[in-house]
Amino acid sequence: MANIKIPKGWEIPENQVTPESAYINRRKFIKDLGIAGAGALSLFGTSACAQESKVAKQLEPYRMQTLEAKKNKEFTVKREQTDEIVAATYNNFYEFTSSKSTVWKRVERFKTRPWEIEISGLVEKPMTLDVDDLIKQMPLEERIYRFRCVETWAMVVPWIGFPMKALLEKVQPKSEAKYVKMVTFMDPDVAPHQNNFGLPWPYVEGLTLAEAMNDLTLMVVGVYGHILPPQHGAPIRLIAPWKYGFKSIKSIVSIELTDKKPRTFWNVILPREYGFEANVNPNVPHPRWSQATEWMIGSMERHPTVIYNGYGESVAHLY
């Protein structure tokens, strides 16, 4: 019998994967228009070139700080990788603004070094670490992950980081620890939306300890080969690719192990819309929209949403 691979329920079928010829043609089409990068076309409209060079200038200091990381071949995606400029100009970072296309401009005064991260709570060895010391200590790897926002946009990004498990092993969770609570910086002088007293700042997210210890759960310190630029949550953020993007908290200052489920930012604001678990699931619509399909930023291609964002093999056993 021929070596036929039967896809698991959660795997993305071949026919949903963009054929290479299709995206090569799209690239050519865009190149013919004199615009580099598929997303630039959809995001910037007519002044694409001018806008793109401004973004490149903003990214330059981060692009110069390359990170050495082994490419982990276990984590690749068959879909086309999202253009770096597209990913860097379509962000959610509500501390700065609610306008996704302007986050990259609003983070100008956000200083992400020096930066400390405190790990405390139900652990044997609480510690406070300088982020660059931490980066030196941890075995960095590059993983290409699918990313799915609850708002239905999606992207494919090469993150650089280390498994959260490796960090938790350093502090040694106590047996009573059940949850991991993560908190973002608080500085209303540089992040003006934090002056909005109606919202429960700072941004808080959480995972169960089992989710945090899962091999997929990544502490991210870089992207596209270099350190994180501020709009992606520098200097250190979470990526949990089987969950909606709001779980992937940015610019983390503290990690606390606890026996109580943390009260998370969006869950406090809109509990009916943003649950604690927030696993990607096409069969559970958001109360205001369907989750059956998603669209790729940049190309605008639409695909069916896949349960656990395609990572069921690694995480389905947790639920």
Using the minimum distance from each CB to ligand MTE, give the nearer residue, 122 or 220: 220
Q: Should residue 112 be labelled a site residue for ligand MTE when binding is judged by CB under 6 A?
A: no
Distances (CA, A) of 182 to 29, 187, 255, 263: 43, 16, 5, 10
Q: Should residue 249 be labelled a site residue for ligand MTE when binding is judged by CB under 6 A?
A: yes
Using the minimum distance from each CB to ligand MTE, give the nearer residue, 59 or 149: 149
Shortest approach of ligand MTE to residue 233 CB, angstroms? 6
Alpha-carbon gap, residue 113 to 235, rounded angstroms: 7
Distances (CA, A) of 100 to 77, 88, 140, 242, 282: 25, 10, 29, 22, 24
Choose the binding region for ligand MTE from 5-13, 85-93, 161-169, 207-215 (rule: CB under 6 A). Answer: 85-93
Please pick, from the candidates 245, 262, 310, 312, the single residue that binds ligand MTE as defined by CB under 6 A: 245
Q: Per the structure block, which two tokens stand in for 182?
A: 């993560």
Please pick, from the candidates 203, 224, 242, 274, the single residue that binds ligand MTE as defined by CB under 6 A: 203
DSSP 123: B
Q: Should residue 149 be labelled a site residue for ligand MTE when binding is judged by CB under 6 A?
A: yes
Q: Should residue 232 be labelled a site residue for ligand MTE when binding is judged by CB under 6 A?
A: yes
Q: Should residue 144 be labelled a site residue for ligand MTE when binding is judged by CB under 6 A?
A: no
Alpha-carbon gap, residue 32 to 26, rounded angstroms: 10
Alpha-carbon gap, residue 26 to 257, rounded angstroms: 47
Instruction: Give yes or no for a contact between 67 and 225, defined as CB atoms under 8 angstroms apart.
Output: yes
Alpha-carbon gap, residue 38 to 109, rounded angstroms: 29
Choose the binding region for ligand MTE from 2-10, 89-97, 165-173, 305-313 (rule: CB under 6 A). Answer: 89-97
Q: Should residue 92 be labelled a site residue for ligand MTE when binding is judged by CB under 6 A?
A: yes
Alpha-carbon gap, residue 219 to 200, rounded angstroms: 24
Using the minimum distance from each CB to ligand MTE, give the nearer residue, 106 or 250: 250
Instruction: Give yes or no for a contact between 69 and 136, defined as CB atoms under 8 angstroms apart.
Output: no
Using the minimum distance from each CB to ligand MTE, give the nearer residue, 173 or 245: 245
Residue at token pair 């943003």: 274
The count of residues interacting with ligand MTE (CB under 6 A) is 16
Please pick, from the candidates 94, 145, 159, 179, the single residue that binds ligand MTE as defined by CB under 6 A: 94
Using the minimum distance from each CB to ligand MTE, give the nearer residue, 248 or 254: 248
Contacts for 227 with CB less than 8 Å, ≥ 6 apart = 62, 65, 67, 221, 234, 235
Shortest approach of ligand MTE to residue 179 CB, angstroms? 18
Q: Should residue 82 be labelled a site residue for ligand MTE when binding is judged by CB under 6 A?
A: no
Q: Which residue is nearest to ligand MTE (CB)?
A: 245
Alpha-carbon gap, residue 213 to 215, rounded angstroms: 6
Instruction: Give yes or no for a contact between 125 and 173, defined as CB atoms under 8 angstroms apart.
Output: no
Q: Should residue 267 be labelled a site residue for ligand MTE when binding is judged by CB under 6 A?
A: no
Residues from 181 through 200 that contact ligand MTE (CB under 6 A)? 184
Q: Should residue 83 be labelled a site residue for ligand MTE when binding is judged by CB under 6 A?
A: no
Q: Per the structure block, which two tokens stand in for 306?
A: 């896949």
Q: Per the structure block, which two tokens stand in for 7?
A: 């896809």
Residues from 275 through 314 that contact ligand MTE (CB under 6 A)? none
Alpha-carbon gap, residue 63 to 226, rounded angstroms: 5
Q: Which residues bind ligand MTE (CB under 6 A)?
A: 91-95, 149, 184, 203, 232-233, 245-246, 248-251
